[in-house]
Amino acid sequence: MTILLVLLSIAILVLLIVWAKLNPFLAFIIASIAAGLLLGLPANEIAGSVQKGMGNLLGDLVIVIVMGAMLGKLVAESGAAQRIAGFLMAIFGEKNITWAMSITGLVVGIPLFYNVGFVLLVPLAFTVAYQYKISAVYVGIPLLASLSVTHGFLPPHPSPAALVAQFGANMGLTLFYGFIVAIPTIIVAGPIFAKTLKNVKASPLKTFQAETRPESELPGAFNSFFTALLPVFLLVGMTALNLNISPDSGVAPFIEFVANPGIVMLISVLVATYTLGLRRKYKMTQLMDIYTIATKDIAMILLIVAGAGALKQIFTDTGVSQVIADGLSTWNIQPLILAWIITAIIRVCVGSATVAGLTTAGIIAPLVTTMNVDPNLLVLSIGAGSLMFSHFNDAGFWMYKEFFNVSIKDTIKTWSLMETLVAVIGLIGVLILNLFV
């Protein structure tokens, strides 16, 4: 019954957006209230739950998304993105650009949270698409496939790292197995799947595009790459320092402070303001105008992401995740497949990959010692299931749709199908690996 009510709530959301043509933010608020009433949440608690969900999600993302938009806009306007795109194309060629995007997403996605990587790297895909007149979806999907895989499969990302701890798995071994499963998954869901998307029409946000400039007006390759990827360097560097410094050290709190994604983005924007702006004779007023335009362009994205957070919180507060997991935990199925199914169903119903993974862990963890299953592979199985079929209740769905500016139909045909491929191919990889370990 609970699953039916969840599906009804999601159906209300879909109808409001697709049939009634309601703004997605308004649709999320209405659907969240309806879900709360249907699932038995006391009426006087619904508004608080909605506000809590919006605040929690935006609290994590607003600095990253806004600063990322500012950095992306400046990278585009200064010509740095054009320089980076030309450099990549010179190395890989237009025929192999999807492979270049996949490699970039894999390398950068390991240290970065998914949302940070999305905001940082999507402008690069847009620039390549704009420069060489090819579909932004064709270029972007391989990049996003890599980011999704690293987010779901590989420590130190939150969900897999927490699962390693809960199951008593080995972090290094999980990471090793994760790479073995990740590479073929990325290849199938990235470059191979992208071949079917060459004709998908997309009109990416103008904030991340700039007119082609003469070669003489472009910043240098080192300056362009360094500034655009500075957040990656900072996060990797801070992580390495954190691993080699005692928690009791006097500099440990400072390192933890600088390693925060929001602080990393702030430092990166300030550095870019100098390296791509003031140093290249931009006036401060010009730079602030660029940043203002960037924030205006992503205002609706922030609201839609907040709406998705509200619906997720309603599902959390009503215990939907736990009810679904409890109902499925008695199924007599191979443990790795069972864990994947439970996670996938929670993911589809709730929308959050992290919530789906951690909820499943709470059910499966007590059974690990009796199931005769490798805990490292269990982490990967749950990670794959947590990425299953992203749709209307997932903030990532709306970030993709709004950034790439594609229709809901094409979002499902591209983004949702890519995420499903990642989930299914990931499970197949785990099951094959299970035969040899």
24 and 127 fall within a common domain: no
193 and 338 fall within a common domain: yes
Convert 206-221 to b/e letters by CB count within 10 Å (16 or more is b). ebbbbeeeeeeebbee
Burial class (CB in 10 A: 0-12, 13-18, 19+), 388: buried
Is 208 part of any domain?
A: no
Give the global pTM.
0.77
Instruction: Check residue 415 and give its pLDDT.
Output: 97
Is 207 part of any domain?
A: no
Is 210 part of any domain?
A: no
Asked which of 36, 51, 66 is the last residue of a domain, the reply is: 51
Tell me: cis bond preceding 156? Omega within 30 of 0 counts: yes
135 and 170 fall within a common domain: yes
The distance of Cα 159 from the centroid of its chain, to the nearest Å, equals 13
Is 139 part of any domain?
A: yes
The number of domains in the chain is: 2
d(CA 310, CA 248): 38
Q: Distances in Å between the alpha carbon of 140 and those of 19, 388, 405, 406?
A: 28, 19, 12, 12
d(CA 415, CA 417): 6
303 and 352 fall within a common domain: yes
Give 206's DSSP letter.
G
Instruction: Check residue 328 and give its pLDDT.
Output: 63
* CB proximity list for 125: less than 8 A, separation 6 or greater: 101, 136, 139, 140, 143
d(CA 64, CA 118): 10
HSE toward the beta carbon, residue 402, CA cutoff 13 A: 24
H-helix segments, 245-318: 252-259, 261-272, 284-297, 299-317
89 and 127 fall within a common domain: yes
19 and 111 fall within a common domain: no
Q: Are 101 and 125 in contact (CB under 8 A)?
A: yes
Residue 173 amino acid letter = L
Is 209 part of any domain?
A: no
Is 421 part of any domain?
A: yes
Q: Could you list the residue range(s) of the whole structural domain that residue 381 is in?
A: 52-198+217-434
Instruction: Check residue 148 and give its pLDDT.
Output: 95
12 and 70 fall within a common domain: no
22 and 86 fall within a common domain: no
Is 205 part of any domain?
A: no
390 and 413 fall within a common domain: yes
Is 137 part of any domain?
A: yes
Q: Are 133 and 159 in contact (CB under 8 A)?
A: no
* CB proximity list for 26: less than 8 A, separation 6 or greater: 16
176 and 258 fall within a common domain: yes
**Tens-level pLDDT at each residue, the chain (437 residues):** 787 898 898 889 888 887 888 888 898 899 999 999 999 999 999 999 999 989 987 886 788 888 888 888 898 888 887 888 778 878 888 889 999 999 888 887 876 668 777 887 888 888 888 878 899 999 999 999 999 999 899 876 778 888 888 788 888 899 899 999 999 999 999 999 999 999 998 988 777 666 678 888 899 999 998 998 888 788 778 877 877 788 788 888 898 898 888 898 899 999 999 999 999 999 999 999 999 988 887 888 788 878 888 888 888 888 876 777 677 666 778 889 989 998 998 899 888 787 788 778 867 776 676 678 899 999 999 999 999 999 988 889 999 999 999 999 999 999 999 999 999 999 999 999 999 98
7 and 87 fall within a common domain: no
246 and 264 fall within a common domain: yes
Residue 186 amino acid letter = I
Instruction: Check residue 325 and give its pLDDT.
Output: 66
